[in-house]
């Protein structure tokens, strides 16, 4: 990967981003591109310029703008306005016991990023619907930080129907989220490197309902996420800023 002097982190939820914003004392820059709801924070760490974009609050419903649509729009705005050297999608996810998942476990990956709920049964469109982007090689970073790499699968539902489960199993996903593949599609159009840092809030193949585990463990996972992201940023700064 080329020298990195500027990284932008993309978060879906404010609760996921706040621990890092506080840790690094980032400045609140307000809305990134009004009238869109995305919030913007900036600062630096060990000489590395960093910006954080959070999807913001939906004007109609007053809740976090989770899902693929705001993620894609935010990514394009970030790339057009801030033009970073590296995109980092930081957030929480569902994990899988069968692949070593555990509450609070953090994955670092450059892909592949798949969709599991885009079903287009037309031969020319099937691979397009699945995705499968690989946008950076983070093996050395993962090893240095003691983090596991993995496959991420994205969809717009917190729960999982049988066909989603089949598609997730087909690609062997370690993390199930609602944004990464959409961000990856935009990053690929711009030929911009992307990695994802994902912390597990719930176990998709566990015995407890997903929504209950998510609410119970969001704080714990967000703190683990913040710690991992800070370590990653300091590592990047050491390697890139001379």
Catalytic positions are: 16, 202
CA 157 to chain centre: 16
DSSP 8-state symbol, 99? G
**What separation in angstroms does the CA of 166 have from each of 15, 93, 154, 161?**
31, 18, 13, 9
Other C-beta atoms closer than 10 Å to the C-beta of 164 total 19
CB 221 within 8 A of CB 201: yes
Whose CA is closest to 219, among 8, 66, 13? 13
Residues in the chain: 242
d(CA 228, CA 218): 15
């Amino acid at each position: 990967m080329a020298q990195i002097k500027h990284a932008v982190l993309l978060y879906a939820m404010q609760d996921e981003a706040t621990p890092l914003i506080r840790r690094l004392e980032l400045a609140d820059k307000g809305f990134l591109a009004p009238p869109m709801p995305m919030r913007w924070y900036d600062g630096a760490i060990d000489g590395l310029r960093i910006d954080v974009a959070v999807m913001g609050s939906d004007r109609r419903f007053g809740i976090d703008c989770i899902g693929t649509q705001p993620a894609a729009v935010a990514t394009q705005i970030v790339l057009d306005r801030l033009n970073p050297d590296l995109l980092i999608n930081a957030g929480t996810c569902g994990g899988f016991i069968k692949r070593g998942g555990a509450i609070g476990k953090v994955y670092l990956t450059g892909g592949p990023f798949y969709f599991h709920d885009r079903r287009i049964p037309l031969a020319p469109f099937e691979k397009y619907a699945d995705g499968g982007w690989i946008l950076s090689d983070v093996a050395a970073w993962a090893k240095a930080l003691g983090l596991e790499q993995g496959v991420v699968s994205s969809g717009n539902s917190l729960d999982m129907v049988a066909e989603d489960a089949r598609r997730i199993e087909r690609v062997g996903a370690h993390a199930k989220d609602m944004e990464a593949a959409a961000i990856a599609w935009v990053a690929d159009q711009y030929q911009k490197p992307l990695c994802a840092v994902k912390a597990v809030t719930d176990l998709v193949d566990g015995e407890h309902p997903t929504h209950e585990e998510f609410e119970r463990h969001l704080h714990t996972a967000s703190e683990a996420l913040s710690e991992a992201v800070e370590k990653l940023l300091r590592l990047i700064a050491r390697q890139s800023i001379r």
